[in-house]
Amino acid sequence: MTDDELLIEQVASAYRPVPRDELRYHPHWYDLDGAGRERAFARARALRALEAALDPDGLSTTARAVLARITGRR
């Protein structure tokens, strides 16, 4: 895997630092150029559909991350 592929795979995850005063991006998002960011968006879109299909409630890791923030678990 190229360095860019490794970065895209990480940025495509639902992990994001919890916001404080302002939104916090994935640290490696800044390391990608425009094309890499587009790929990360497309990869995330594909992964979320896969995750939702594997989840008993049909939730992606994005939705699970949001629920964790709502319920104070994050």
Q: Applying CB under 8 A, which residues contact other proteins? A: 1, 5-6, 9-16, 19, 22-26, 29, 34, 37-55, 57-71, 74
Q: What's the min distance (Å) between Cβ of 45 and other proteins?
A: 6
Closest CA to 60 of 41, 46, 74: 46
Q: What's the min distance (Å) between Cβ of 43 and other proteins?
A: 5
Where b means 16+ CB within 10 Å and e means fewer, 39-62 reads bbeebbeebbeebbeeeeeebbbb
Q: What's the min distance (Å) between Cβ of 42 and other proteins?
A: 4
